[in-house]
Amino acid sequence: MMRLTQGRILALKTLLHLGFILPLAYLWLSVQSGAAGGDPVQYVIHFLGMGALHGLMLSLLVSPLAKGLQMGGLMRVRRLIGLWAFVYALLHVAAFLGLDLLGDVALLLGEIVKRPYILVGMATLLILSAMAATSPGAMQRRLGRRWQQLHDWVYLAAVLAPVHFWWSVKSGWYEPALYLSLCLGLLAWRRKRIVFYQQIVTSFNRGLNRG
């Protein structure tokens, strides 16, 4: 068994950062060179959305991997991955607003209200934003147990994100179905934990009602 030394974790973090930065560089270059087509708006939006989904799934893969490989140190790269997923999701929405709607904020707000698939996407972004905002260690210590409760919302995000993808495509269901299944698979692996979490919430509510 390979031990995760400080140096190895640093190397892994560097690789992960590169793994998220290089696609953005590639995107930039393919837009500049024309390889992304005569009107790359949809290409850019789709690319960033898929990046966010991949990041989210990768972040959910960390704890199964850490447990399966018995390498607890792996958990130390999870925040970085989650933050990158958030950055991609933010860029995805920024590209939709900036390149497709051309900065028409009123239209964006109208679309969020009127189009359920966009509402689902924005709900996902909201969850990721709350997690990103509370990601520093200081916030984690300050929030205590509530920090974990807040970050458990990622399970909902892991369902909403592939649903948003499926809902957004014009035709063809193979690819979105594959993503939804993979996400559900990642959640199924932690079903005990999710059920356990629900029980805590239920008993907590019961306590509140009694009190």
Partner 1 sequence: RDLAFDVSRNYGIGDELTPEEKILTHNNFYEFGTSKTDPVKNAQGLKTAPWTLTIDGEVNHPLTLDVDELINAMPLEERVYRLRCVEAWSMVIPWLGFPLAELVKRADPNSRARYVAFETLYDPKQMPGQASRFVGGGIDYPYVEGLRMDEAMNPLTLVSVGLYGRTLPPQNGAPIRLVVPWKYGFKSIKSIVRIKLVERMPPTTWNLLASHEYGFYANVNPGVDHPRWSQASERRIGAGGLLSAKRIPTEMFNGYGELVAQMYTDLDLRRWY
SS3 per-residue string spanning the chain: CCCCCHHHHHHHHHHHHHHHHHHHHHHHHHHHHCCCCCCCHHHHHHHHHHHHHHHHHHHHHHHHHHHHCCCHHHHHHHHHHHHHHHHHHHHHHHHHHHHHCCCCHHHHHHHHHHCHHHHHHHHHHHHHHHHHHCCCHHHHHHHCHHHHHHHCCHHHHHHHHHHHHHHHCCCCCHHHHHHHHHHHHHHHHCHHHHHHHHHHHHHHHHHHHHC
Q: How many residues does the chain have?
A: 211
Nearer to partner 1, 83 or 101 (CB): 101
Figure out which of the listed residues 26, 126, 148, 175 binds partner 1, where binding follows CB under 8 A. Answer: 175
Figure out which of the listed residues 7, 137, 144, 172 binds partner 1, where binding follows CB under 8 A. Answer: 172
The helix/strand/coil state of 161 is helix
Least distance in angstroms from the C-beta of 152 to partner 1: 30
Chain centroid to CA 110: 24
Which 89-108 positions form the footprint of partner 1 (CB under 8 A)?
Answer: 98-102, 104, 107
Least distance in angstroms from the C-beta of 85 to partner 1: 23
Nearer to partner 1, 64 or 98 (CB): 98
Nearer to partner 1, 24 or 83 (CB): 24
Figure out which of the listed residues 26, 28, 173, 204 binds partner 1, where binding follows CB under 8 A. Answer: 173
Q: Name the DSSP letter for residue 157.
A: H
Figure out which of the listed residues 6, 70, 171, 209 binds partner 1, where binding follows CB under 8 A. Answer: 171
Least distance in angstroms from the C-beta of 100 to partner 1: 6
Least distance in angstroms from the C-beta of 150 to partner 1: 31
Which 113-152 positions form the footprint of partner 1 (CB under 8 A)?
Answer: 114-115, 117-118
Which 20-39 positions form the footprint of partner 1 (CB under 8 A)?
Answer: 31, 34-39
- Which residue ranges make up the site for partner 1 (CB under 8 A)? 31, 34-44, 98-102, 104, 107, 110-111, 114-115, 117-118, 167-168, 170-175
